């Protein structure tokens, strides 16, 4: 379920934009009329009548995006992001819906915390927002949350994003419980005994700069494990922020084998490699880290063929 505040439905005519819609096969300079919030007409020339006119010369008009991986930092760090500011940013960037991760402070691991978020979203959210709840209490990887209760309270999926569920046994039980709620698990795949809290890809750049490396296999071994468990339990999983070619291969193979799995990649993993770390800009150190050119190309390929 998604929530937002009540907004008046718009009557608009948008003029001058390049209208792009890959699904409908449209790429042309067209005008679009919106009646009470619904697209009513797409044509070369539309009379505005009483509608407000938006001049959009030089702009692209396209179906809005959905971002399934957002950190609103609420509750706990409202100084960084609130539901109001995060959803306003989403709207400004062309997003019509977002899903927020539960690694806040407190973690969204109880129906009470989730209910408070839903209430705030109903008051503040500029675009529809949905909330994931944690897989484990406090995201400590020790005991499962009350998934049934959280699903009933509106959780759209479960995730310990930011940290992995390190125990395979616990992951198996999470898949079993999540299945009963008909919600997927969104998985941060990282084997902590291989990543060692690193932020730089294990390779030439890390070696030259003297950083402890975070190897691709620290991700792919966890992706392989979770996809195997999902196949075994017939669970539904979404693999978060893929970074390594080996992980992409694993996801592609699992999907071909019939596992109900999807995956995502971040824009920065699609356009940057660990070469960017040479700048020593702390913004390019992240988890999972920026990887090698062959990994970036594998992500692009997977995006094109629908694996991602």
> Using CB under 5 A as the criterion, which residues of the chain lie in contact with Zn ion when the complex forms?
161
Q: Which is nearer to Zn ion, 73 or 252 (CB)?
A: 73
Q: Which is nearer to Zn ion, 161 or 219 (CB)?
A: 161
Taking CB positions, which residue lies at the least distance from Zn ion? 161
Q: Which is nearer to Zn ion, 13 or 218 (CB)?
A: 218
**Neighbour count for residue 54 (Cβ, 10 Å):** 16
Order of all β-strands in the sheet with 236-239? 158-159, 185-187, 236-239, 260-263
In contact, 241 and 269? CB cutoff 8 Å: yes
How many Å apart are CA 19 and CA 33, to the nearest integer?
A: 12
State the minimum distance, in angstroms, from the CB of residue 86 to Zn ion: 13
In contact, 132 and 181? CB cutoff 8 Å: no
State the minimum distance, in angstroms, from the CB of residue 262 to Zn ion: 16
Q: What is the DSSP string of 122-149?
A: HHH-SS-EEE-B-SBGGG-SSSB--HHH
State the minimum distance, in angstroms, from the CB of residue 161 to Zn ion: 4
State the minimum distance, in angstroms, from the CB of residue 266 to Zn ion: 9
Instruction: Give the 3-state secondary structure percentages of the chain, helix then strand then coil, rounded to 5.
Output: 35, 20, 40
Q: Which is nearer to Zn ion, 174 or 240 (CB)?
A: 240
State the minimum distance, in angstroms, from the CB of residue 237 to Zn ion: 16
- With 0-12 CB in 10 A as exposed, 13-18 as middle and 19+ as buried, what is 71? middle
User: Cα 34 vs. chain centroid, distance in angstroms?
Assistant: 29
State the minimum distance, in angstroms, from the CB of residue 77 to Zn ion: 14
In contact, 173 and 141? CB cutoff 8 Å: no
**Neighbour count for residue 224 (Cβ, 10 Å):** 19
For the packed helices 216-233 and 168-181, what is the interaxial angle rounded to 10 degrees?
50
State the minimum distance, in angstroms, from the CB of residue 6 to Zn ion: 29
Q: Which is nearer to Zn ion, 161 or 246 (CB)?
A: 161
Q: Which is nearer to Zn ion, 86 or 203 (CB)?
A: 86
How many Å apart are CA 167 and CA 290, to the nearest integer?
A: 26
């Amino acid at each position: 379920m998604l929530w937002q505040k009540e907004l008046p439905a718009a009557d608009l005519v948008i003029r001058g934009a390049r209208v792009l819609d890959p699904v409908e096969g449209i790429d042309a300079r067209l005008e679009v009329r919106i009646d009470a919030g619904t697209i009513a007409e797409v044509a070369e020339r539309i009379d505005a009548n009483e509608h407000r006119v938006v001049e959009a010369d030089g702009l692209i008009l396209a179906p809005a995006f959905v971002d399934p991986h957002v950190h609103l930092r609420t509750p706990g760090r409202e100084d960084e992001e609130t539901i109001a500011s995060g959803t306003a940013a989403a709207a400004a960037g062309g997003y019509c819906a977002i899903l927020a991760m539960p690694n806040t402070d407190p973690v969204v691991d109880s129906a009470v915390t989730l209910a408070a978020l839903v209430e705030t979203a109903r008051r503040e959210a500029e675009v529809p927002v949905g909330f994931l709840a944690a897989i484990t209490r406090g995201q400590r990887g020790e005991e499962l949350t009350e998934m049934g209760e959280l699903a009933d309270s509106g959780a759209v999926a479960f995730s310990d994003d930011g940290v992995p569920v390190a125990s395979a046994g616990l992951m198996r039980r999470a898949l079993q419980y999540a299945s009963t709620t008909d919600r997927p698990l969104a998985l941060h795949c990282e084997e902590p005994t291989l990543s060692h809290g690193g932020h730089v890809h294990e390779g030439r750049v890390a070696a030259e700069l003297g950083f402890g490396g975070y190897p691709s296999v620290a991700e792919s071994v966890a992706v392989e494990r979770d996809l195997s468990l999902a196949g075994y339990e017939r669970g539904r999983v979404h693999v978060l922020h893929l970074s390594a070619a080996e992980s992409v291969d694993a996801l592609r193979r699992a999907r071909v084998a019939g596992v109900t799995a999807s995956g995502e990649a971040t824009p920065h993993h699609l356009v940057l490699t660990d070469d960017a770390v040479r700048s020593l800009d702390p913004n390019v150190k992240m988890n999972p880290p920026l990887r090698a050119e062959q990994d970036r190309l594998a992500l692009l390929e997977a995006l094109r063929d629908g694996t991602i």
